[in-house]
């Protein structure tokens, strides 16, 4: 598996879709009080502990997320993806995920299966290596731990 950076750490992209930049202020009863900045710190620190080079990004623009997924595919990098609302209807995001050559873990902060019916299905899940939902921001930590094991990172 490629995806290692110049320092030898394995590159993992943590990509977040629309509205996740509003963590900590948006529907705290559903998404919790952890801010987006705190989520970034959690992911980068967890990655460092596990021997991963974690790059965290968030966008509200679908075309930008597609570009990042294409980059990850070209680099054969692993991806932790919270596609947010795009989970439920974006065939473009799903198709970009299908091009990935590294493992993909889909993460949702809330339990999408316990919410409104339109959130119960994710078009991304069928092409993901695994899915974590409903565990809050700890789902990101678990996804990174899984990827470190699969990729043989040394942390």
Q: Name the residues annotated as catalytic.
A: 31, 108
> Does the annotation list 91 as a binding residue?
no
Rg of the chain taking only CA atoms, in angstroms = 14
**147 CB neighbour count, 10 Å cutoff:** 27
> Does the annotation list 60 as a binding residue?
no
Q: What phi and psi, each to the nearest 5 degrees, are found at residue 44?
A: -65, -45
**77 CB neighbour count, 10 Å cutoff:** 24
> CA 67, CA 85: separation in Å to the nearest integer?
18
**What one-character DSSP code corresponds to residue 103?**
-
> Does the annotation list 19 as a binding residue?
no
| Longest Cα separation, the chain | 45
First to last CA, the chain: 17
> Does the annotation list 138 as a binding residue?
no
> CA 135, CA 100: separation in Å to the nearest integer?
25
> CA 94, CA 145: separation in Å to the nearest integer?
24
> Does the annotation list 88 as a binding residue?
yes
Please state the residue numbers annotated as binding site.
82, 88, 95, 109-110, 119
Please state the residue numbers annotated as binding site for substrate.
82, 88, 95, 109-110, 119
């Amino acid at each position: 598996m490629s995806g290692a950076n110049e320092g030898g750490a394995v590159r993992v992209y943590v990509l977040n879709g629309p509205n996740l930049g509003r963590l900590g202020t948006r529907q705290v009863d559903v998404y919790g009080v952890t801010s987006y900045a705190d989520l970034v710190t959690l992911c980068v620190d967890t990655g460092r502990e596990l021997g991963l080079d974690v790059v965290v990004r968030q966008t509200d623009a679908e075309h930008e997320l597609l570009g990042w997924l294409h980059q990850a595919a070209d680099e054969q990098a692993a991806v932790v993806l919270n596609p947010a609302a795009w989970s439920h209807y974006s065939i473009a995001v799903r198709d970009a995920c299908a091009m990935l050559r590294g493992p993909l873990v889909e993460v949702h902060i809330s339990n999408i299966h316990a919410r409104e019916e339109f959130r119960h299905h994710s078009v991304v899940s069928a092409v993901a290596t695994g899915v974590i939902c409903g565990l809050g921001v700890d789902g990101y930590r678990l996804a990174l731990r899984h990827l470190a094991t699969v990729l043989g990172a040394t942390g």
